Chains A and B, each alone.
Chain A
Amino acid sequence: MERTRFQSFALYAGLTVVCGILLFPIYWLFVTALSTLAEIRQLPPSFWPAEPQWSTFTKVASERPILLWLWNSALAAIGSVGLSMIVSVLAGYSLSRFSLRGGRSLGLFILTAKMLPATLLVIPLFGIFRSIGLIGSLWSLVLAHATLIIPFTTWMLKGYFDTIPRELEQAAMVDGCSPLGAMFRVVLPVATPGLAATALYAFVLSWADYAYARTFLTNAQGSWTANLGITTMKGEYVTDWNEISAAAAFIALPILLIYLFLERYLVGGLTAGAEK
């Protein structure tokens, strides 16, 4: 059905408003980072600084160990994504393909871990990590994030594997693959969009964590993640909001770049079930 001119106008107007609402925080983050403290506090606010303070970014990068924090965040995220994907690919594939006694209940039971708030798990996890000497180590974050990520990614991947015809693996097995070989040579390459979408989701979950980092990492700045480090930039009497915003922009940048890189896989991942 063709749209009338009014419908097109309404559609584009609606989309513009929604995009505006979604993009405004990012825009405001950069405006704050580029403004002087006086401009930040002025009323009415200015929507673009008179003289953008690009030096704020270099100042933050040189005066704070922001790059080290980003590196720590990246290590924790890559570690937890790696661990989560290994577990959830195998678990999701098994739940999708094998009918085990009680398999469905087991699958649902995995999800119960996702029903618990992260803060509730902090105390038992702290006890476990302390007993095995992981407090202060990034490994504690890798393991803790994996406990949050795996239940959800397992179900995401199970849903994705369900859309891949079993005949593909059967054909591969007739062609000479073992069941595991069929999974690695055929199912996983076909599932690339789903894997990319799931990995990105896992990465964002780990990257955005604060509560676990605050609890498990010690007071030594060198082991902090970016989200933890940025909170220390707020002073008791003076807070440089432009520097905090510049640091926040540094933290947001990797996620934006990853989104841009994986975008084609993500769209493919979302629409793959629509075609047979």
Chain B
Amino acid sequence: MAGISIQNVYKNYGALNVLKEFSLEIADGEFVVLVGPSGCGKSTMLKILAGLEPASGGKILIGDRDVTDLAPGDRDIAMVFQNYALYPHLTVGQNIGFGLKMRGTPKAEIDKRVREVAKILAVDHLLDRRPKALSGGQRQRVALGRAIVREPRAFLMDEPLSNLDAKLRVHTRAEISALHKRIGVTTVYVTHDQIEAMTMADRVVIMRDGIIQQIADPDTLFARPANLFVAGFIGSPGMNFLRASVEGGRLTLFGQTFDAPAGSRDGEVIVGIRPEHLALGQGNVTFTVKPTLVESLGSEKYVYFEPGEHAHSATSRDEERGKGLIARIAHAGPIREGGELLLSFDASEIHLFDAKTEKAMN
């Protein structure tokens, strides 16, 4: 096991700069998730880390060893791919033992370790089967087995759950987390799914257009997003954004004026309110809305409403959603679409972003 140090790594394809000055220190045994929308450079970074893509510049250390120019097989890392990448002409046992065989491990030792790992992952009854005879979940476990059998210094995982159905994904997610706790190997995990990132990571690295937006633990990301992008990316449903202005330390929203949170400056701002911070009934700041759509998930309801004449929706996320703002109400009784509904929020829970730089102000 070892920590990983990524120092000023960048990647250009001709004039296209897909990764810009990426620096990250990963502690020994840490589970770090790189997350971001498609094309943000997260998979490129993982491939550079694995040695499958050369970096255009920068330096990578695994432990104390500079691996920047080493071949993938010499880096002592293991990788789990999105499509599993199991060798279709080999049996499950041969797949798991392939890396050991390549390193000249004696056959008896390979057999022993393959059986041990297969038992941990509950695929020991499948050792003689070919990958095509396995289900998606079993293939995923074999791919994990192939990674852990070598006891590498670090695991790299490239969206390993995206080919699984929703139920199996949740199950395998928990399995991977449990496996990491058990063997404690440094893990770098790439996903575009913020829920995976939030549930599995010790720290999350949020990326956009090849640039790191924020590095923090999941709770910090949720509570103190560094900018508008992070605020909108983390949380489900996404944060509501409204245009407003601060004058003399007072913020006007939904026709009401109240003290702006500490750290804010006068001028145009974007206010972020998480859907779960909107509550039914009277509160610190109360306003009336007409729900345009109510979605019931059983234990909670998603109430969609237009911001009204006193507030203006601020980002394209709302346009994508096409349903204005959203409130996430737990344990609510019946809510009628088109009727009047009293909602409120606590002014201390709102987020303020600079309208120009989109950076967080509080």
Contacts and interface: CB of A to CB of B under 8 A. Distances in A.
Contact of A176 (B47, B52, B99): B99
B16 to A, nearest CB: 14
A176 B103 contact: yes
A95 B342 CA distance: 65
A184 to B, nearest CB: 12
Interface in B87-103: 87-89, 98-99, 102-103
A178 B81 contact: no
A190 B85 CA distance: 12
B96 to A, nearest CB: 10
Q: Main SS of chain A's interface residues?
A: helix
A128 B71 CA distance: 44
Contacts of A174: 50-52, 72-73, 77-79, 99
Contacts of A58: none
Q: Which of B72, B82, B98 has the most CB of A within 10 A?
A: B72
Interface string A129-159: 0000000000000000000000000000000
B156 to A, nearest CB: 8
Which one of A168, A176, A276 has the highest number of Cβ atoms from chain B below 10 Å of its Cβ?
A: A176
A188 B103 CA distance: 21
B286 interface: no
Contacts of A165: 83, 85
A189 interface: yes
Contacts of B50: 170, 174
B146 interface: yes
A272 to B, nearest CB: 10
Number of chain B interface residues as a range: 20 to 34
A208 interface: no
A173 B87 contact: no
A170 B80 CA distance: 10
A207 to B, nearest CB: 29
A177 interface: yes
Contacts of B88: 190
Interface centre among B51, B73, B83, B88 (most CB of A within 10 A): B73
Interface string A173-187: 111111001000010
Given A186-B87, A190-B88, A170 B98 contact: no
Nearest to B82: A167
Contacts of B83: 165, 167, 276
Contacts of A181: 102
A171 interface: yes
A192 B83 CA distance: 21
Interface string B339-353: 000000000000000
Contacts of A168: 85, 87
Nearest to A164: B88
A186 B146 CA distance: 15
A172 B89 CA distance: 13
B81 A175 contact: no
Contacts of B72: 170, 173-174
A171 B146 CA distance: 10
16 contacts: A167-B81, A167-B82, A170-B52, A170-B72, A172-B87, A173-B51, A174-B50, A174-B51, A174-B52, A174-B73, A174-B79, A175-B146, A176-B99, A176-B103, A177-B73, A190-B89
Interface of A: 165, 167-168, 170-178, 181, 186, 189-190, 192, 276
Interface of B: 47, 50-52, 71-73, 77-79, 81-83, 85, 87-89, 98-99, 102-103, 146, 150
* 6 smallest beta-carbon distances between A and B, as pairs: A176-B102, A176-B73, A175-B99, A167-B85, A171-B85, A189-B89
